[in-house]
């Protein structure tokens, strides 16, 4: 098992589109286990998309059980939203690839998602509450979209500016 490195904005890899998984086999499951280990290792992480560790595959892992509850690891392979409700919900969102920033994001309150599980079996499930928010946030990653793309351009501009500055300082530190 390996803890993988999480890419952070403005890394351009996070803006690319991930490709569907063709075969759910042991090698893929080993990678999914690494994604789960990486998510559990990160502070308060409740979800992770493969592209956040630099892998262009349509895979998401998630665990929405709270801190004191037993672990409930889930994985969603080739997830697709098949329906969204009319009603919207606003949740405060954060992202392991946009560290230290949080913003209120409006999304459909309910959706249905079709996906393959860890064994390659197809399911379709209705989502609401935190699950609906999180699955939409993760599927966005697979299409190169970050939660900051859903907020006002004024607020996004401020966050992007700070992320760029942090990136420049990091690059500078490596040259000393």
**Shortest spacing between CB 62 and ligand GNR, in angstroms:** 8
63 near ligand GNR (CB under 6 A): no
Q: Are the CB atoms for 5 and 14 separated by under 8 Å?
A: no
Looking at the DSSP bridge assignments, the partners of residue 91 are 105
- CA nearest neighbour of 159 among 99, 115, 108, 118: 99
**Shortest spacing between CB 55 and ligand GNR, in angstroms:** 13
Out of ligand GNR, Ni ion, none, what residue 48 binds, judged by CB under 5 to 8 A for its kind, is ligand GNR
The smaller minimum CB distance to ligand GNR, of residues 28 and 39, is found at 39
**What whole-number distance in Å separates Cα of residue 84 and Cα of residue 165?**
37
Binding string to ligand GNR for residues 28 to 57, with x set by CB under 6 A, is what? Answer: ----------------xxxxxx--x-----
Stretch that binds Ni ion, among 19-27, 89-97, 127-135, 151-159 (CB under 5 A): 89-97
96 near ligand GNR (CB under 6 A): yes
Element holding 134 (H helix, E strand): helix 129-142
Helix, strand, coil: what percent of the chain each, to 5? 35, 25, 35
Out of Ni ion, ligand GNR, none, what residue 58 binds, judged by CB under 5 to 8 A for its kind, is none
Residues marked as catalytic: 138
**Helix, strand, or coil (residue 169):** helix
């Amino acid at each position: 098992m390996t803890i993988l490195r999480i890419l952070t904005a403005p890394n351009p890899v996070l803006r690319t589109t991930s490709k569907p998984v063709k075969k759910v086999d042991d090698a893929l499951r080993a990678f999914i286990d690494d994604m789960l280990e990486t998510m559990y290792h990160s502070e308060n992480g409740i979800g992770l998309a493969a592209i956040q560790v630099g892998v262009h595959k349509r895979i998401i892992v998630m665990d929405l059980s709270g801190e004191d509850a037993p672990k409930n690891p889930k994985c969603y392979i080739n997830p697709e939203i098949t329906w969204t409700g009319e009603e919207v919900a606003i949740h405060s969102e954060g992202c392991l690839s946009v560290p230290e920033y949080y913003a209120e994001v409006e999304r459909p309150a309910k959706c249905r998602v079709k996906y393959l599980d860890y064994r390659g079996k197809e399911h379709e499930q209705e989502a609401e509450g935190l699950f609906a928010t999180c699955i939409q946030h993760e599927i966005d990653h697979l299409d190169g979209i970050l939660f900051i793309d859903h907020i006002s351009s004024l607020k996004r501009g401020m966050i992007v500016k700070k992320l760029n500055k942090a990136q420049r300082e990091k690059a500078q530190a490596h040259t000393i």
